[in-house]
A and B are shown apart, each in its own frame.
Chain A
Amino acid sequence: MPRYYGPQIRGGASGVKLSLDTTRASVSGDTVDIMVCFNWEKYAELEQELPLGINTVLFYDNAPPKKGINLPERSFQVGFSEISKELTGTTAAKNIVALGLLERILALPENLSKGATAQDHASALLERNGLALNAGKRLLLEFPFAELKLSPPWDASVKVVLHGNAAVAQGAIRSGCRAFFGYPITPASEIMQEMQERLNHGNGAFLQAEDEIAAVGLALGASLTGAKSMTATTGPGLDLMTEMIGLASGAEIPVVIVDVQRCGPATGIPSKSEQSDLNHAIYGGHGDAPRVVIAAYDVEGCYRLLIESFNISEYYQTPVILLSDQWLGQTTVAIDGNFLTRDYSVCQRRRPGGEYQEQYRRYELTEDSISPMAFAGDEGLVYQATGLTHNEKGRPSFDFATQQRMHEKRWQKLAPLRGKDELVEVFGTEEARRGIVAFGSSAQFVLKTVEDLGLQHRLKVCIPELIHPLPDKLASFVGSLEKLLVVEMNYSAQLHHYLRSQLDLPSDTETYARAGGLAFTRKELSGPMTKLAR
């Protein structure tokens, strides 16, 4: 159920698109089967995202404007507001009237809407909602069609209902995150709100910071004492965090930063998706500061990869940026909940043992370049760290060989991540020589379109969840292709350029990249995909 709202976040135009086919998760059809419109002026703002199809059944409250709207054949004016007013004394229950009508049309089981209306605790209100609901149900008789019998659910396994932002927060708790610091920003605020709820029982540290510099600074302070610490934001917040990300990289402090991307640059369109922070996530900041960049492409991934982000961050002592986006973060889906109860390995930071008691060197050059890290407070392991170039003991150093060695240490320690095959998903037949690379929520649209076009046997699709450092499995996928298509939602084709900087791409490589805001449709993706398959 994607949410549609404008840059006036607290109000204004808003809509939701509910897909009753849970197998399609957040990627429903390009047009809708049934639409209820309460306000044509506001609809005009969302029309690009919620177009009417010729087969759409439309119910609307007030007469549409004379110009600009082509009503489909099956359009019906229903006085939702009027009925609501008559029965309840207010027009506020017009949505409940509509719910009653939809319940009958779709022949939904009675108990579904009962649960929905009971959410309002005031019983007087409940009673009025009940009246409105029944009035809506009776409306069916006024229309020239019978109940649309829906086929029984295809996939009846246990469902959980959540969005990517909630999955991120739940993953954080699962991985043992004990410190969260954030600053409100659309479309990432839900993560902070859920973490506040979950860390507010004496089981961790939570603060709403004064800005994003503070949020990540607080997280680094907590991390230095051994707490798994994180923050969540979107593009403008990531900008402010950039200097601290460099510090975390240089001083090797674990921290997880979630970036729920939105349209940029500057304020952009705060309420819409884009994948334009990729360059910033990989390269942002001065002075060659390596970090790990991971991108979730579905809600399950938001949960699993948040745990993975902490594992990598803690094990490799590095900042990890987990990319999500507005679509993924705020689209509520009903999905199989098994992933919430599955076993996940949870990784702990490597700490110095007894052997170091006298001569602990915080940045000791070890074989795998990972130096055991004491927690501030550990006895016998006192060290002083700095954002200055430092030697193995953490002392400031102005030796150029040390500068070189410490760069090598920080970059080389991340090299084994390239072998993390499980963080690269490949779909389709291995023999195919034509393939698509996509990441983040765009990948969902790519997968669905390939399926809808029946191209599974002609095209294979690679979705890297680990983006940086570039995984070997992604390299071999690209290496196996004669024709490559890179699909991404940003104007300058950032993923394509990143791949090109690291790999020999097939001479026949195309990109489908455009600015964000509007979700990809199957119609638009089918062009480049059909061409690729030809």
Chain B
Amino acid sequence: MMKESSYRTGVTPVWCPGCGSFALLNALTGIVLPNLGTPGHQVFIVSGIGCSSRIPAYINAYGFNSLHGRAVLIAQGAKLANPDLTVVAIGGDGDFFSIGAGHLPHAVRRNVNITCIMVNNFVYALTKGQTSPTTPYLRRGEGPFLSLQFYPPVDPVLDMVSYSVSTGASFIAQGITADVPHLGWLIQEAIKHRGFSFINVLTPCVTFEPPQFFKTIREKASYLKEGEPVELPDSSREQPWLHDSGNITLALKLAQTPVLEKPHIGIIFRGKES
């Protein structure tokens, strides 16, 4: 299942078979880095703590598996001190939107040229199935979506994409691990964007979510194409508009679409470069 690539190290991933993190690894080592042609020594991958954060050990580039929630700090420091490096911060939803959430708006407003990839599997998987800030909120009797979650989540979801839009991130995209070529393309665009880029990657957790959870997301996903009408959820009364990734008001509308109703895949917003 693993594509041969000179960007892979010999280390065997610890992930469960079928984990979405494999898709990210394939996208990075099989598509993004070969296409950009950046040699491994000019790339620095920094991660936090969580399943997906084990990724630096598998990529033949400079890498650092740092602390929970702090990848974006190490990444900015490295980029500021050596602007020639391509710096990518990778973490999970717990990393970016729980323990490390306070760092994100500051990274956004500094607009340091790094790429943040949030591998969003909607759950704390490494610690065995606890709710994360992105776990869908369920009313009693509606779930549970999460197989091992004894108590259903009671707090509303922290909507990470809207958050990035509202803090003014200069490049915001949403990808899905079910489509590796498209994910690879998105990451390339993010890296090429000169400024802070944030990509929310919709990912299944094959162990702590029932299969229908990600299946729903995958089936309802729709691709954003510049200049073409956007698809809206059935519940929406709005007229579809033509996608314009330069329009922040429209970007916020896209971001606010509930992910279980209509996940928009593509570049949501592309703003000013630094």
Residues of A within 8 A of B (CB): 178-179, 181, 205, 207, 209-211, 213-214, 217-227, 229, 243-244, 247, 251, 375-388, 395-396
Contact A207 B67 (CB under 8 A): no
Chain B 65-85, CB-CB to A under 8 Å as 1, else 0, gives 111001001111111111011
Contact A214 B106 (CB under 8 A): yes
Bound-state CA distance A179–B76 (Å) is 12
Bound-state CA distance A218–B112 (Å) is 12
Bound-state CA distance A508–B127 (Å) is 53
Contact A384 B103 (CB under 8 A): no
Bound-state CA distance A209–B112 (Å) is 13
Q: Which residue of A lies closest to B44 (CB)?
A: A376
Contact B77 A377 (CB under 8 A): no
Residues of the A chain whose Cβ atoms lie less than 8 Å from the Cβ of B110: 207
Contact A210 B102 (CB under 8 A): yes
Which of A221, A375, A377 has most chain B Cβ within 10 Å? A221
15 contacts between A and B (CB under 8 A): A179-B80, A205-B81, A217-B66, A218-B73, A220-B66, A221-B80, A221-B81, A227-B82, A247-B67, A382-B60, A382-B61, A384-B45, A384-B57, A384-B64, A387-B49
Residues of the B chain whose Cβ atoms lie less than 8 Å from the Cβ of A377: 41-42, 44, 62, 82, 84-85
Known: A227-B82, A377-B85. A222 touches B77 (CB 8 A): yes
Residues of the A chain whose Cβ atoms lie less than 8 Å from the Cβ of B60: 382
Contact B39 A385 (CB under 8 A): no
| B2, CB-defined interface residue at 8 Å | no
Q: Which residue of A lies closest to B110 (CB)?
A: A207
Q: Which residue of B lies closest to A219 (CB)?
A: B77
Bound-state CA distance A251–B67 (Å) is 11
- Name the interface residues of B12-28: CB closer than 8 Å to any CB of A: none
Residues of B within 8 A of A (CB): 9, 11, 39-42, 44-46, 49, 54, 56-57, 59-67, 70, 73-82, 84-85, 102-103, 106, 110
Contact A225 B65 (CB under 8 A): no
User: What is the distance, in angstroms, from B207's C-beta to the closest C-beta of chain A?
Assistant: 20
Which 8 residue pairs across A and B have the least CB separation, nearest first? Answer: A221-B77, A217-B73, A222-B81, A384-B63, A218-B77, A221-B74, A386-B65, A225-B82
Question: Which single member of A214, A224, A243, A396 contacts B54 (CB below 8 Å)?
Answer: A396
Q: Which residue of A lies closest to B61 (CB)?
A: A382
Residues of the B chain whose Cβ atoms lie less than 8 Å from the Cβ of A209: 73, 106
Bound-state CA distance A380–B102 (Å) is 36
Contact B82 A387 (CB under 8 A): no
Contact A213 B70 (CB under 8 A): yes
User: What is the distance, in angstroms, from B97's C-beta to the closest C-beta of chain A?
Assistant: 16
Which of B66, B81, B82, B85 has most chain A Cβ within 10 Å? B81
Which of A213, A220, A381, A382 has most chain B Cβ within 10 Å? A382
Residues of the B chain whose Cβ atoms lie less than 8 Å from the Cβ of A219: 77
Contact A224 B9 (CB under 8 A): no
Q: Which residue of B lies closest to A220 (CB)?
A: B74
Residues of the B chain whose Cβ atoms lie less than 8 Å from the Cβ of A244: 67, 70
Residues of the B chain whose Cβ atoms lie less than 8 Å from the Cβ of A385: 63-65
Residues of the B chain whose Cβ atoms lie less than 8 Å from the Cβ of A382: 40-41, 60-62
Bound-state CA distance A226–B78 (Å) is 9
Bound-state CA distance A376–B43 (Å) is 8
User: What is the distance, in angstroms, from B172's C-beta to the closest C-beta of chain A?
Assistant: 20
Bound-state CA distance A214–B40 (Å) is 27
Question: Which single member of A225, A251, A381, A388 contacts B81 (CB below 8 Å)?
Answer: A225
Bound-state CA distance A396–B67 (Å) is 14
Residues of the B chain whose Cβ atoms lie less than 8 Å from the Cβ of A179: 77, 80-81
Contact B73 A214 (CB under 8 A): yes
User: What is the distance, in angstroms, from B67's C-beta to the closest C-beta of chain A?
Assistant: 6
User: What is the distance, in angstroms, from A29's C-beta to the closest C-beta of chain B?
Assistant: 46
Q: Which residue of B lies closest to A385 (CB)?
A: B64
Bound-state CA distance A385–B59 (Å) is 12
Q: Which residue of B lies closest to A253 (CB)?
A: B64
Contact B57 A386 (CB under 8 A): yes
Contact A379 B56 (CB under 8 A): no
Contact A221 B65 (CB under 8 A): no
Contact A217 B70 (CB under 8 A): yes
Given contacts A220-B66, A384-B9, 12 further A-B contacts (CB under 8 A): A178-B81, A205-B80, A209-B106, A217-B67, A217-B74, A251-B64, A377-B84, A382-B60, A382-B61, A384-B45, A384-B57, A386-B56
Residues of the B chain whose Cβ atoms lie less than 8 Å from the Cβ of A207: 76, 80, 110
Residues of the A chain whose Cβ atoms lie less than 8 Å from the Cβ of B39: 379
Question: Which single member of A221, A376, A384, A386 contacts B73 (CB below 8 Å)?
Answer: A221
Contact A376 B62 (CB under 8 A): yes
Contact B57 A376 (CB under 8 A): no
Contact A222 B80 (CB under 8 A): yes
Q: Which residue of A lies closest to B39 (CB)?
A: A379
Q: Which residue of B lies closest to A379 (CB)?
A: B41
Residues of the B chain whose Cβ atoms lie less than 8 Å from the Cβ of A379: 39, 41
Contact A221 B62 (CB under 8 A): no
Bound-state CA distance A207–B49 (Å) is 25
Contact A384 B56 (CB under 8 A): yes
Known: A220-B74, A222-B78, A384-B59. A395 touches B11 (CB 8 A): yes
Bound-state CA distance A477–B45 (Å) is 49
Residues of the A chain whose Cβ atoms lie less than 8 Å from the Cβ of B102: 210-211
Q: Which residue of A lies closest to B75 (CB)?
A: A221
Contact A224 B78 (CB under 8 A): yes
Residues of the B chain whose Cβ atoms lie less than 8 Å from the Cβ of A386: 56-57, 64-65
Q: Which residue of A lies closest to B64 (CB)?
A: A385
User: What is the distance, in angstroms, from B163's C-beta to the closest C-beta of chain A?
Assistant: 15
